[in-house]
């Protein structure tokens, strides 16, 4: 590997809301991010001075958490603790390896929220302003209601019980204030309009507009489709399509109170992204890392956010503008992805395709099946990806069991039986033997280099999150290795050895040939294992123990296993997906 300067990288995945379970849709993001983090860590080892951190947290604040805690007769703090534990258990089960998994309800996040707010407030002229707004108020509960808790009669078609933003019957879109007879879905009380003072971040200010026009279009901060979307939202130069952003909510609210504004709280979306800073700060305290080096304006470290396309607006507009005007650095890149469909449709509870992480695991399905399948589909764009359950079973069974681990099981038997597990020298070409062995050596050399030649393209695809293309190449390579094996027919050599009246010497062409074919096949298996390791970390660990090697790194791709190195006897590395387990999981999800 070429020498490179020491890199410091902070990677985040979006914060799951502390009001529900992790499901397979969420996992598209966490698996995608975890693969990228593991890939960076494998390529940029800590011992060489590189630092790569992956942080996340539960998004703990807001009205839904407050109301659920009340319904469950507990406190928001107890509720978010319980959900935090559940989330972390699910992530751990899917081998999502955070360096820190925290909560936004923390002293660190409070401190940075206040700090960001103060800096925006004291900007000259101030980027914080207040306005009186009218909002629906539930007089029974004594709270202002978010739109999702408001229903009423559609002003267009008079359908009853429609949500506050659009009618499911006629499709009309409107404001909650247009509803006829609006009522609270919590208490059923008729709602009243009440005036209240709210705090706003002045996103419509020229400074923000000009900054965002530049930031969203330059230096590939965003994927091109996201940059285009931002251009649409920002409008043409001279236009001003952005409104000021309402960052406050009235009490009672579960969140952080705004400094010097009793009864007013930061809207959950203000402190959610600041939760990235809070979680990282918490890690810095544990590991003695310099927080400012990663976050202060002018930082030369790298910051990457993985998010779903539904929260692009928050991450590509509000967030960089907040950071820019509060003396912090802005993200290096924002990677946005699409949603998950199952069998080509939106996840659905009635069809049993709204599958939680817990349900998947409790049916005995290996989390690495899903990691592999998602990787085989993710292409680095904002397109949705589909989990087709038939294809899922067929693909995992064919690729991982039929092709990849098959390579190890085929070669290990002969190596252990005839050579006590010791490998031949696959790189030495100085053997003086019959002409057919020269041909064998040249085909061994050719196979080895066919694999080595694909390392750079695979690395580039991984770096650009085109995992699907990396997997396609890796699987084409497993086909090549299996074809080589079939062409060489080593089982015929093994038979000849067995049937030989005398014990054959190690350098006898038949024995040598069996040794060489089995050894290069194991070397290829090692290479494929490294290439798949960011996707299949636990399977790779089992493979490492079979290969009898230390944890494999990217640099080990080009370092062949030593001649004479001894592998272990082959044990099952992964089992096939059983359709019955999938069917049971679907039934249980209904
Ligand atoms: Zn309607």
Cα of 347 vs centre of ligand 1, distance in Å, is 25
Cα of 173 vs centre of ligand 1, distance in Å, is 9
- pLDDT, residue 241, reads 81
Cα of 105 vs centre of ligand 1, distance in Å, is 39
- pLDDT, residue 506, reads 86
Bridge partners for 135 per DSSP: 194
DSSP assignment of 317-343, as one string?
IIHHHHHHTTTBPPPSEEEEE--EEET
- pLDDT, residue 433, reads 58
Cα of 160 vs centre of ligand 1, distance in Å, is 8
Q: Give mean pLDDT, residues 198-220.
A: 95
Which of 364, 331, 360 lies closest to 27 in space, CA to CA? Answer: 360
| Per-residue pLDDT tens over the stretch 133-144 | 999 999 999 999
Q: Give mean pLDDT, residues 422-443.
A: 79
DSSP assignment of 88-137, as one string?
HHHHHHTT---SEEEESSSHHHHHHHHHHHHHHHTSSS-SEEEEEEEEEE
Cα of 63 vs centre of ligand 1, distance in Å, is 27
The residues whose Cβ lies within 5 A of ligand 1, an ion, are: 154, 156-157, 159, 167, 169-170, 172
Pairing of strands 192-201, 128-138: antiparallel
Cα of 191 vs centre of ligand 1, distance in Å, is 20
Q: Give mean pLDDT, residues 18-32.
A: 97
| Per-residue pLDDT tens over the stretch 504-522 | 988 899 999 999 999 999 9
Between the CA atoms of 167, 171, 177 and 178, what dihedral angle is there, to the nearest 10 degrees? -110
CB 70 within 8 A of CB 143: no
- The more confidently predicted of residues 454 and 507 is 454
May I ask the CATH class of domain 8-119+269-337? Answer: alpha beta
- pLDDT, residue 235, reads 84
CB 10 within 8 A of CB 330: no
Quickly state the pLDDT bin for 434 (edges 50, 70, 90). low
pLDDT, averaged across the chain: 95
Taking only Cα atoms into account, the Rg of the chain, rounded to an integer number of angstroms, comes to 29
Rounded alpha-carbon distances, angstroms, from residue 351 to 129, 361, 389, 587: 48, 19, 13, 9
Assigned CATH topology for domain 128-201: 2.170.220
| Per-residue pLDDT tens over the stretch 261-304 | 999 999 999 999 999 999 999 999 999 999 999 999 999 999 99
Give CA angle at 12 (331, 368), nearest 5°. 140
Whose structure tokens read 């703090």? Answer: 77
Exposure string for 275-304, b = 16+ CB within 10 A, e = fewer: bbbbbbbbbbeeeebebeebbeeebebbbb
Cα of 146 vs centre of ligand 1, distance in Å, is 20
Cα of 183 vs centre of ligand 1, distance in Å, is 16
Query: For residue 260, is it left (φ>0), alpha (ψ between -120 and 50) or beta?
Result: left
- pLDDT, residue 1, reads 41
Cα of 165 vs centre of ligand 1, distance in Å, is 11
Cα of 353 vs centre of ligand 1, distance in Å, is 29
Cα of 96 vs centre of ligand 1, distance in Å, is 43
Residues of the chain with pLDDT > 70, as a percent, come to 98
- pLDDT, residue 239, reads 78
Cα of 158 vs centre of ligand 1, distance in Å, is 6
Quickly state the pLDDT bin for 2 (edges 50, 70, 90). very low
| Per-residue pLDDT tens over the stretch 143-156 | 999 888 999 999 99
Bridge partners for 53 per DSSP: 10
- The more confidently predicted of residues 1 and 83 is 83
pLDDT at 194 over 90: yes
- pLDDT, residue 173, reads 86
| Per-residue pLDDT tens over the stretch 310-365 | 999 999 999 999 999 999 999 999 999 999 999 999 999 999 999 999 999 999 99
CA 216/CA 210 separation, integer angstroms: 10
| Per-residue pLDDT tens over the stretch 371-427 | 999 999 999 999 999 999 999 999 999 999 999 999 999 999 999 999 999 999 988
- pLDDT, residue 493, reads 96
Q: Give mean pLDDT, residues 38-57.
A: 97
CA 583/CA 590 separation, integer angstroms: 11
Q: Give mean pLDDT, residues 26-42.
A: 98
Cα of 157 vs centre of ligand 1, distance in Å, is 4
Cα of 307 vs centre of ligand 1, distance in Å, is 33
Cα of 314 vs centre of ligand 1, distance in Å, is 29
pLDDT at 40 over 70: yes
Beta carbons within 10 angstroms of residue 434's beta carbon: 12
Cα of 171 vs centre of ligand 1, distance in Å, is 6
- pLDDT, residue 4, reads 64
CATH number of 390-557: 1.10.730.10
| Per-residue pLDDT tens over the stretch 229-258 | 999 888 887 777 889 999 999 999 999 999
CB 547 within 8 A of CB 529: yes
Hey, where are the domains in the chain?
A: 8-119+269-337, 128-201, 390-557
Between the CA atoms of 100, 105, 107 and 109, what dihedral angle is there, to the nearest 10 degrees? 70
- Three-state DSSP class for 12? strand
Cα of 207 vs centre of ligand 1, distance in Å, is 40
CB 467 within 8 A of CB 378: yes
CB 352 within 8 A of CB 587: yes
């Amino acid at each position: 590997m070429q020498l490179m300067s020491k890199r410091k990288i902070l990677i985040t995945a979006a914060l799951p809301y502390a009001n529900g379970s992790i499901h397979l849709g969420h996992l598209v993001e966490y698996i995608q991010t975890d693969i990228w983090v593991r890939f960076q860590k494998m390529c940029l080892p800590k011992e060489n001075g590189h630092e790569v951190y992956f942080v996340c947290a539960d998004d703990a604040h807001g009205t839904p958490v407050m109301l659920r805690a009340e319904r469950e007769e507990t406190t928001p703090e107890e509720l978010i603790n319980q959900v935090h534990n559940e989330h972390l258990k699910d992530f751990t089960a899917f081998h999502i390896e955070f360096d820190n998994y925290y909560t936004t309800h923390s002293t660190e996040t409070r401190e940075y929220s206040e700090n960001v707010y103060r800096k925006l407030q004291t900007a000259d002229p101030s980027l914080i302003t207040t306005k009186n707004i009218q909002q629906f108020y539930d007089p029974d509960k004594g709270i202002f209601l978010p739109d999702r808790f408001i229903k009423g009669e559609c002003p267009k078609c008079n359908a009853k019980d429609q949500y506050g933003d659009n009618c499911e019957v006629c499709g009309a879109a409107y404001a909650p204030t247009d509803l006829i007879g609006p009522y609270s879905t919590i208490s059923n009380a008729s709602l009243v309009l009440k005036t209240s003072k709210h705090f706003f971040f002045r996103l419509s200010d020229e400074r923000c507009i000009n900054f965002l026009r530049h930031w969203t279009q330059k230096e590939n901060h965003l994927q091109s489709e996201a940059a285009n979307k931002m251009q649409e939202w920002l409008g043409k130069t001279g236009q001003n399509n952005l409104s000021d952003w309402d960052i406050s909510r009235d009490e009672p609210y579960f969140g952080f109170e705004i400094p010097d504004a009793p009864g007013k709280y930061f809207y959950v979306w203000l402190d959610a992204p600041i939760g990235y800073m809070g979680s990282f700060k918490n890690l810095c305290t544990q590991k003695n890392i310099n927080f400012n080096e990663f976050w202060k304006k002018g930082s030369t470290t790298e910051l990457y956010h993985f998010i779903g396309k539904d929260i692009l607006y928050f991450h590509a507009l509000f967030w960089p503008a907040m950071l820019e005007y509060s003396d912090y650095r802005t993200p290096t890149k924002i990677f946005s992805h699409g949603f998950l469909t199952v069998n080509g449709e939106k996840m659905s509870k009635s069809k049993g395709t709204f599958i939680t992480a817990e349900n998947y695991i409790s049916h005995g399905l290996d989390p690495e099946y899903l990691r592999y399948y998602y990787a085989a589909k993710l292409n680095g764009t904002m397109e949705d990806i589909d989990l087709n359950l038939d294809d899922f079973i067929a693909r995992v069974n064919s690729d991982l069991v039929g092709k990849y681990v098959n390579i190890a099981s085929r070669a290990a038997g002969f190596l252990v039986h005839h050579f006590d597990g010791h490998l031949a020298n696959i790189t030495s070409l100085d053997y003086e033997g019959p002409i057919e062995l020269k041909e064998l050596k040249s085909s061994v050399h050719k196979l080895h280099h066919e694999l080595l030649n694909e390392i750079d393209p695979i690395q580039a695809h991984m770096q650009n999150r085109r995992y699907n293309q990396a997997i396609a190449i890796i699987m084409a390579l497993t086909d090549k290795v299996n074809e080589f094996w079939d062409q060489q027919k080593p089982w015929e050599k093994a038979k000849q050895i067995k049937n030989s009246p005398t014990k054959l010497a190690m350098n006898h062409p038949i024995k040598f040939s069996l040794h060489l074919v089995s050894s290069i096949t194991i070397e290829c298996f090692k290479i494929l294992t490294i290439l798949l390791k960011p996707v299949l970390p636990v399977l790779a660990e089992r493979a490492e123990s079979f290969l009898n090697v230390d944890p494999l790194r990217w640099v080990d791709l080009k370092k062949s296993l030593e001649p004479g190195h001894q592998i272990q006897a082959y044990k099952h590395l992964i089992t096939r997906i059983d359709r019955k387990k999938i069917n049971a999981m679907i039934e249980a999800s209904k």
